[in-house]
Each structure stands twice: as structure tokens, then as C-alpha cells.
Amino acid sequence: MIRFARFLDDLLFTPQRNGKLRLMVEYFRTIPDPDRGWALAALTGSLDFAEVKPAAIRALAAARVDAELFGWSYDFVGDLAETVALIWPAGSHDDHAAEPVEDDDTLSLTAIVTALSQAKRGQAPDLLAGWMDRLGPTARWALLKLVTGGLRIGVSARLAKTALAQFGSQPIEAVEEVWHGQKPPYGPLFAWLDGRTSRPDAGEGPIFMPLMLANPLEDEDFAALDPTLYFAEWKWDGIRVQLAARGGEKRIWSRGADDASAAFPEMIEAMPADVVLDGELLVGEAASGSGGEVRPFNDLQQRLNRKVPSVAMLKEYPAFVRLYDALYIGGADLRGLPLEARRQHLEDWYRAAPRPRLDLSPLIPFADWAELGRLRDGAREAGIEGLMVKRRDSTYVSGRPKGPWFKWKRGALTLDCVLMYAQRGHGKRSSFYSDYTFGAWTPAGELVPVGKAYSGFTDEELLLLDRWVRHHTTKRFGPVREVEPGLVLEIAFDSVHTSTRHKSGLAMRFPRVHRIRWDKPIAEADTVENLKRLM
């Protein structure tokens, strides 16, 4: 566990992709089976034991630490696993700030994973407490990350497989193909990559096929493009997925090759056999059903936060996939065909039978770029981020080839607002005041909140904002600070609609900090009336 913890810690602090690859290759080279296999399973989200719920981990901490002290600490750190790892009182070793250096066999990754998968219901927390008493803070952190699922160290399944490919000097495609038939701790896979055995049988499984991605296009670039050679579609604001159903099995792959099947069981159920399709996962109702309504990204976010959804979540936030491309239909690989032909295959297939929870992303007819631009700026309903522009003759090539596909995001609206409250963030923003509630002026000269933003600024700007908040706090309410009105934030947002959530009666969609107006006096910030005019 100690070696694994150091590995995770190194990955967390290594920003560059190449550095992360180097660390993983090094780990696979030096760590014996089956430890390296369990580590790979942890990186790719393939571990199979009952997760320990956050509430159970809180309960463990509550048994050893004063509840109020825990509360203040969690509020500062912002991450449950890290808070518990740091606050855990010293066990058998004297100095709880220090890390023991070597693993003994009872604390190896394999021993821990094995014990967890054999544990009966409710036993896991006690096991966990026993281990934490014997580990240092970083190992406790890694252990808690492991048992709660979701390491969040900036390594996608795809990157882990890329490291495997490098480690074994094999092309990534070969690893992807073999991957499907393998199970943790991946003995035969490593045997092949070590060069000790031949390649394991790939089978006819639903393997991930790397996606084709688009380049951003600036307004002025269009002059050089002939509009008759391109299709236009809406750019849907969900998550890109690959629906893969082959060899009697089904998977939903994210663009990073993470397996999202468990999180969307209704999509697995609805997925027809023998296809590999490219589309956008959305919450709402497919046009094949009664509605065709796309709900805001925030609703999808509710689902993305859950590894496995509850029955209530499934009902309240139903998922569907809006299709825009087909890689395989029946046994036929369509990737070498031009987009226009793939589209025809997709449409024919779609109409051949009822396709619940699936619909087609419509093509938008247009005569020239100016007309398309007007359509883009006019569309402000939920679910649309802008436009996709794709060459009719483009074959399906993985990666981000320059030229065939473009994304053309819609320009944002902006408003100068005054910072009113700030709250500490979570995850990467832990312990920084990174969530900002801002207001606009009423005719009576009062500031009322109109929205909340937690993105759009650089890391350097976050440091400055955080410091500004700390130095201008007038009141504290738990994790929230009220600040004296004194800082203008230029907020960018997609649209504005009525809402009961804010006192102003208005709410912005996707508000983010566009610029920090250190220079601007608050009296010159915008009014609620100005915001209303943008509706």
C-alpha cells in the first residue's frame, strides 16, 4: 500500500502527460504481479468490491475525532478522503506526520484488495480502521481513495492503457483490442507485455475505438471553406460517448475510454446489438419518444456524480443518446466510408426498427456561412453549445486530424457584476475561495444576487481572488464568506431566464468569470434591468 500510495501521490503531482506515462511505465516495470495488476485495475476503474460509502468513512472519523473539529477541517480541506487521512490519530507508529517506508505483506495492495473483496457486508469499515492505524497519512489517503472509488488523479483509462502499450512496446490499438477479455489482476496481459507469452485472444468484444475529435474554428476562418462541402449539426451540451455492442456484450465508453456502463443501465438496456455508434449522452427525452426535450447539463451532472444511479435518479434524470455517427453496423466497419455514406447507413439503421432512448442529431440546412452564423447566435435553448461543422467526405479517423471536423462555439453574453459571497471549493479547488456569488444593482441602489460562478479564471487569478476574499470578509457563515462590495467581475453566460432561486428572479445559464475587473468601480457595474433586457 505504501508503494502504491507513493505512486498515486507522484501521479497526482506530475502535471505533464508524459511525466505520468513515465511514472506508470516505471511502476509496471518494477512492481511484481499481482500488485501491479491491482494498481492497473484501480487506475482504470475495474476493481470489483463493494465500495465503502462516504457516510461510513465519516462515521469512522467521528469515533476518533471531535465532530466540530472534524467539521472545520473538512470545510477547509474540501475532500473527505484527504481530511480523514490527515486527521486520523496516530496508531502503532509514533509520528502520524511521517510515512512508514516499507510495506509488510499484510499491508500490500494485493492483501488489501483481497480482504476487501472477501469482506462480508459491513465489515469493510473495521478493516479500514485497522489498516489506517498502521499507515501514514499519504497511504491512508490512497487507501481511502481506493475504497471509495474514483481516484481523481488525472489519469484516464486511456492514458493507463497508453502506458501499458509503452511498457510492452505494443501499439495502443493492440492493447485496446486485448483489453476487453482481461480481468484484474491481468496476469496474462502482463505476461504478454513482459514478452513471456503470446498475445491473449482479443475476441469479438465491445472494445473502445478511439474517437474522432474536432478543432475549434474562429469566425474569420470560414471564408476559406466551401459551404457545399460541409454538414452542419448542433453541438450538444452533454458528454460524448461511444455505444459499443459487439459479440453479445455492450459498453458505454466515455471519450477517455472510461467505462460508463454501470452509471447508465437504462442505456445499456436500450442499446441494440451489433453496432458501434458515436453520439452525445444527454438527460431528457429522445425525439423517438414523446418529447425530444434536452435538459440542462446540470441535470446530467446529477447522473455523472453517481457511479450507480438510484431508482429515483433514473426516473428523475432519464438519459438518452443523440446519435451523429456510426462506426460499425452489423458486421461492417464503416470507418473508411465518407461521412455522407456513414450518415445514410445510420439513418437507414435508425428507421429500420424502434430505437428507444436514441435519436438522430439533425443536419441543419444552410446556404452560406453568414446564414449558419445567424442560426448559431439565435439558438439559446438548453443543450446547445454551438455548432459542429464536418466535411461530407471525411472518413472516421481517431484523434484530432486538422481539417475535416470543426466546432464553432456560440459567443457568450456578458455582464459586469459585483462579488458578494465566496465559498470554498472542492476537489482541485479545495481550501480556496473559488465559488463566487455575484450581484447586480436594483433601481433602489441595492445589490441582489443574480448568479454563482466557479470557473473561467486561471490558477494565478484564483490565488488573487482567494486573497482578496480573505482580506475583505465582513461575515462568515460556515464555509461561506460575505465580502464587502468592492470587486467587479465580468461574467460571461449563455442565456438568462426567470428563476425563483435568486432574489432577482433571474438566473443565468453557465455563468463563468470572463474577466476580473480590478479597475472598475462597483458603482459602474450593471443593473438587474440590464440583465432582464438580455432575456
Partner 1 sequence: MPAGLFVEPGGFYIDPVRRVDRAIVTHGHSDHARPDQTHVLATPETLAIMKLRLGERAGRRHQALGYGETIRIGEVDLKLVPAGHVLGSAQAVLEYRSQRVVVSGDYKRRLDPTCRPFEVVPCDLFVTEATFGLPVFRHPDARQEIDRLLHSVRLFPERCHLVGAYALGKAQRVIATLRACGYDAPIYIHGGLLAMCDLYQAHGVELGELRHVTGVPKSQLEGQIVVAPPSAMNDLWSRRLPDPLVAFASGWMRVKQRARQRGVELPLVISDHADWDELVQTMRDVQAPEIWVTHGGEEALMRQASLMGLKARALSLVGYDDEDET
Task: Work out which of 36, 47, 79, 297 binds partner 1, going by CB under 8 A.
Answer: 79
Q: Which of 20, 145, 161, 235 is flagged as catalytic?
A: 235
Task: Work out which of 13, 59, 150, 173 binds partner 1, going by CB under 8 A.
Answer: 13
Cα–Cα distance, 418 to 441 (Å, whole number): 9
End-to-end CA distance of the chain: 55
Phi/psi of residue 490, nearest 5 degrees:
-85, 115
Whose cell is 457545399? That residue is 228
235 annotated active-site: yes
Greatest C-alpha distance within the chain:
78
Task: Rule CB under 8 A: say whether 166 interacts with partner 1.
Answer: no
DSSP at 219:
G
Phi/psi of residue 127, nearest 5 degrees:
-60, -45
Task: Rule CB under 8 A: say whether 95 interacts with partner 1.
Answer: yes
Task: Rule CB under 8 A: say whether 69 interacts with partner 1.
Answer: yes
Task: Rule CB under 8 A: say whether 59 interacts with partner 1.
Answer: no
Subset of 131-160 contacting partner 1 (CB under 8 A): 137, 141
Task: Work out which of 158, 161, 355, 429 binds partner 1, going by CB under 8 A.
Answer: 429
Secondary structure (DSSP) of 64-110 = TS-HHHHHHHHHHH--HHHHHHHHSPP-SSS-TTSPP-S--GGGSHH
296 sits in which H/E element? none
Min dist. Cβ of residue 92 to partner 1 (A): 16
Task: Rule CB under 8 A: say whether 460 interacts with partner 1.
Answer: yes
Task: Rule CB under 8 A: say whether 455 interacts with partner 1.
Answer: no
Residues ≥6 apart with Cβ < 8 Å to 184? 37, 38, 40, 41, 46, 47, 48
Residue 238 in grid coordinates:
452533454
Min dist. Cβ of residue 249 to partner 1 (A): 37
Task: Rule CB under 8 A: say whether 87 interacts with partner 1.
Answer: yes
Angle at 358 between CA 352 and CA 363, to 5 degrees: 85
Min dist. Cβ of residue 437 to partner 1 (A): 21
Please, how many CA atoms are within 13 Å of residue 94, restricted to the half-sphere of its CB? Answer: 0
Which part of the chain contacts partner 1 (CB under 8 A), choosing from 6-14, 199-207, 325-333, 436-444? 6-14
Cα–Cα distance, 278 to 213 (Å, whole number): 11
Min dist. Cβ of residue 48 to partner 1 (A): 27
SS3 319: strand
Give the per-residue contact string, 370-409, with partner 1 (x = CB under 8 A; - = no).
Answer: ----------------------------------------
Task: Work out which of 14, 302, 398, 414 binds partner 1, going by CB under 8 A.
Answer: 14
Task: Work out which of 170, 288, 395, 430 binds partner 1, going by CB under 8 A.
Answer: 430
Cα–Cα distance, 474 to 482 (Å, whole number): 6
Give the nearer residue to partner 1 in terms of CB position, either 120 or 471: 471
Task: Rule CB under 8 A: say whether 464 interacts with partner 1.
Answer: no
Task: Work out which of 77, 155, 286, 516 binds partner 1, going by CB under 8 A.
Answer: 77
Residue numbers annotated as active site = 235
Please give the residue ranges that form the binding site for partner 1 (CB under 8 A): 9, 12-15, 65-66, 68-70, 72-73, 76-79, 82-83, 86-87, 95-99, 137, 141, 427-432, 459-460, 462-463, 467, 470-471, 473
